[in-house]
Copies of this chain bind each other. A is one copy, B any other.
Amino acid sequence: MATELKDLTKRSEDYSKWYNELVVKAELAEQADVRGCMVIRPYGYAIWEKMQRVLDDMFKETGVQNAYFPLLIPKSFLSREAEHVEGFAKECAVVTHYRLKTNETHDGVVVDPTAKLEEELIIRPTSETIIWNTYKNWIKSYRDLPILCNQWCNVMRWEMRTRLFLRTSEFLWQEGHTAHATREEAEERAKQMLKVYAKFAEEYMAVPVIQGVKSETERFAGALDTYTIEAMMQDGKALQSGTSHFLGQNFGKAFDVQFLNKENKTEYAWATSWGVSTRLMGALIMTHSDDNGLVLPPALAPIQVVIIPIGKSDQMAALDEKAEAIVKNLKALGVSVKYDNADNKRPGFKFADYELKGVPVRLVLGARDLEKGLVEVMRRDTLEKENVSIDGIEQYVKNLLDDIQQNIYKKALDYRNAHIYECDNYEEFKERVKDGGFFLCHWDGTEETEAKIKEDTQATIRCVPFMFEQTEGVDMVSGKPAKHRVLIARAY
């Protein structure tokens, strides 16, 4: 499984190809022999596991509990909520039979026509319907509320054009589904979870995001409001990285989830849902990585430090001994470290391989340096090398990891901020948007304007951002009055 680094396409040559190659070469994921599905390889899954662990702890801090609901949804459930069925029932995997039988030539299996389901089952594209059908039995009184459930699971949407992590037919995600006694509490929860996502993206993934609310057109099917975090990739395109929906009473009404409120009156329950998926892997890769391969934030790197010895065979015992002491001390500091003294690979190969895999810090233990009490330290984000005293190397490395985490965040933030433009002229916008970037433009709030922008430029309104001070103005397309600027960009 040796990987020749020189084969990696440069970002400047073909950003899209660079991404596709990197995902495969770094052994993160690959296309499966099932249309549109992926295999997440151990190295990629280890990053996803770290993300899961951090997010799960953050959810639980807010009172959320995990649960599990069925994979299959009766077809009729999807029709209950009018907008929801429009958004999700169309492209989905449909189970129609429950048995195979041996074929006539006895060399294969065929569907048994006698085993046809009375009602077809859909592989969940999202679980609002099956979950609210369950909540109906759990919620009788305001005392049963709130319900704060989350599940980590697989979902399936029959996508026509797929890309590893960014858009696959099957993907892994978490979906939180909460039920509340009041509108205010539900709206508050939807906003709270968006903040959790933003904090995770910025502090762990080192990916700066813009929080905002979607336009009506871009809302989740069945939501009254969809909140979003939008990240900028190195090609200036936006990547929607997490969404949180205030669902009003739409699902409460669709599944007849009523409760007695404090005034002893019957009321429909209020809902939110919120999710992030393996798409975050795409955001992570595209934000930081370079032409040498992955650059991973130390907070999510499966291996934070790799130690590679260089010496003649009679020097290896001493190098091993020294390395093992460093490994032990680093582990005691909570640093994950790998010592790679495999003798069937050249050091040069190892260097390239760990660069490709984005290991944040590399230590090279050379026999001669060791005599001088030195070790070579390389940081993956800048590729800078320096010789450092081996005394206290562990604390030095730990500080360096913190520094890398901060540095790659700052680098991404600077890049993004340098590519956000206020724009008031549609001709100028059409020209500049081709090169990527986020555009802050006044919008009259109509679907017509939104559709025209999309048709002319492929760019979409990503959100009404919260972070910028808003002023009234004139819509750059229609010339009509506009209440605020929206964030417009081409997006993944």
Chain A contact residues, CB within 8 Å of chain B: 1, 30, 32-34, 37-42, 45-46, 48-49, 65-76, 78-79, 85, 89-101, 107-109, 111, 120-123, 130, 133-134, 137-138, 140, 143-144, 149, 153-154, 156, 158, 170, 172, 344
For the complex, what is the distance from the CA of A134 to the CA of B140, rounded to whole Å? 49
Partner of A92, one of B91, B100, B149, B154: B100
Least CB distance from A150 to B in Å reads 9
Query: Could you list 29 A-B pairs, sorted by A, with CB under 8 Å?
Result: A1-B140, A32-B69, A32-B70, A32-B134, A33-B130, A33-B134, A39-B67, A42-B66, A42-B67, A45-B65, A45-B66, A45-B68, A49-B66, A68-B172, A70-B170, A71-B170, A75-B109, A78-B100, A79-B109, A91-B98, A92-B99, A94-B99, A95-B95, A96-B97, A98-B158, A99-B158, A111-B120, A123-B123, A153-B154
Partner of A107, one of B49, B79, B133, B172: B79
Q: Which residue of B lies closest to A101 (CB)?
A: B90
Least CB distance from A306 to B in Å reads 17
Residue pair A71, B111 in contact (C-beta under 8 Å): no
Residue pair A134, B70 in contact (C-beta under 8 Å): no
Contacts of A92 in B (CB 8 A): 98-100
For the complex, what is the distance from the CA of A120 to the CA of B115, rounded to whole Å? 14
Contacts of A122 in B (CB 8 A): 100
For the complex, what is the distance from the CA of A156 to the CA of B172, rounded to whole Å? 17
**A interface majority secondary structure:** mixed
**Given A42-B66, A89-B109: A154 and B71 within 8 A (CB)?**
yes
Partner of A68, one of B39, B67, B91, B123: B39
Least CB distance from A87 to B in Å reads 12
Contacts of A49 in B (CB 8 A): 66
Contacts of A38 in B (CB 8 A): 70
